Chains A and B, each alone.
Chain A
Amino acid sequence: MNADGICPRVNAQYLKPYTESVVRLIGRVTQVNGDTAILDAAGSVTVHSTRDLVFTEGQIFEITGRVNADLSVKALDGINHGSDGNMDNVNKMVELVQRHKAFYYNI
């Protein structure tokens, strides 16, 4: 994350414009392969873990990370929200944030 704390909220549908930027992503872990996990966030996103971030299948994580050229995300930080929570609402929220980008972000 930058010192100003700006990391736009995205899901799989909005990754492309943020290549090389730091974003905030909420998704449910569908698969764990070593230090890489696949998250469902309105589509699949491959997330490369940090050392102290342990992914568990079925749990929802909020990732702050950098978007790679292949649209995978290198996690810098992650918060485990547990398995409860409505991902449909999260994706609706991301859509609204993206539609009102100027309200949320100075970018």
Chain B
Amino acid sequence: MSNYNSYDGNSYGGYGGGDTGGGYMTNSYGGGDTNGDVKYSSQGGADRTIPEGKTRLRPVTMKQIIDATKTHDDAPFIIDGVEVINVSVVGIVRNVTHATTTSTYRVEDSTGMCDARKINRPDEQDFDRSESFPRVGDYVRIIGEISNFNDKRYIALRHMRPITGLDEVTFSVLEPLLVHLQTVVPSSLYSTADVAKSNSSALFTTSYETESLTPLQRRIFDALKTAEEQDMNEGAHIGVIADRIGASRNSVMAACEELTDLGLAYTTVDFEHFKLIM
């Protein structure tokens, strides 16, 4: 596919280019000329269509960087079923290696360790030209591109800055979780509107509830998520759900009402048809 080739050319070309400030924003992977959408299986269970060409800077953990997958060598990395090129990650510098042409910073964020590598250009003023930063033990935010080199995962480093203050550490731990949840669970649960109108504890209460479902609620939730009725206006009838998961109609009815109370499902044409909020 020609797009993948253009991805290689643009991203690495941009990296070596002069405009380091906006380099990662100008990546035109995917462009507007794709001939369709690509289907990826998301961690949320259901297949979902992700439009190509959505280039964004995603906050991630080191574990997500290490676990990111590729469908083939030239394809972009996939996290939670979504293409990811540029990442932002916060961690502690554990090792620094300066060579003539590259500087390598080994950074750890408690979820994993990964090298961030920068190509040194003698003619350029760079973020790491000062003696005092970055050093081993510094808390840093890294912005770069997930890459592989000799089958080893690393971050092609574009920018690094010090983290100052505990509150940014706290925030940076939770930021990747929020984006992960926004990506893999129904968008309505973690929309920006929710963030705006609720404090952080209330925001995550919903996720506690999806994680603390009773086994029966969980089975219904999973069954509905992949059910073909989910695509129809009237949703699934409780009798159908009961047959499908092999539980009694009354218990399914009760569990569906509980899912509704939790804000995960809603009734449609009558009180016996349910649909998940997606």
Contacts and interface: CB of A to CB of B under 8 A. Distances in A.
Interface of A: 1, 3-9, 24, 26, 60, 62, 77, 79, 81-82, 84-86, 89-90, 92-93, 96-97, 99-100, 103-106
Interface of B: 61-63, 67, 92, 94, 108-114, 137, 139, 165-167, 169-170, 173-174, 177, 180, 200-201, 204, 207-208, 211
A85 B163 CA distance: 13
The 9 closest A-B pairs by CB, nearest first: A85-B166, A5-B113, A5-B108, A81-B166, A24-B110, A93-B170, A89-B170, A104-B111, A5-B112
Contacts of B200: 89, 92
Contacts of A4: 112-113
B180 A103 contact: yes
A85 B112 contact: no
A92 B202 CA distance: 11
A85 B180 CA distance: 25
Contacts of B139: 79
Contacts of A105: 63, 111
How would you classify the secondary structure of chain A's contact residues: helix, strand, loop or mixed? Answer: mixed
B111 A81 contact: no
Given A85-B170, A86-B167, A93-B170, 18 more contacts: A1-B94, A3-B113, A4-B112, A5-B109, A5-B110, A24-B110, A26-B166, A26-B169, A62-B169, A81-B169, A89-B167, A92-B200, A93-B174, A99-B208, A103-B61, A104-B61, A104-B63, A105-B111
Contacts of B207: 99-100
Contacts of B61: 103-104
Contacts of A9: 110, 173
Nearest to B200: A92
A5 B107 CA distance: 9
21 contacts: A3-B113, A4-B112, A5-B62, A5-B94, A5-B110, A5-B111, A79-B92, A79-B137, A79-B139, A81-B166, A82-B166, A86-B166, A89-B170, A89-B200, A90-B170, A93-B173, A96-B204, A97-B173, A97-B177, A100-B177, A103-B61
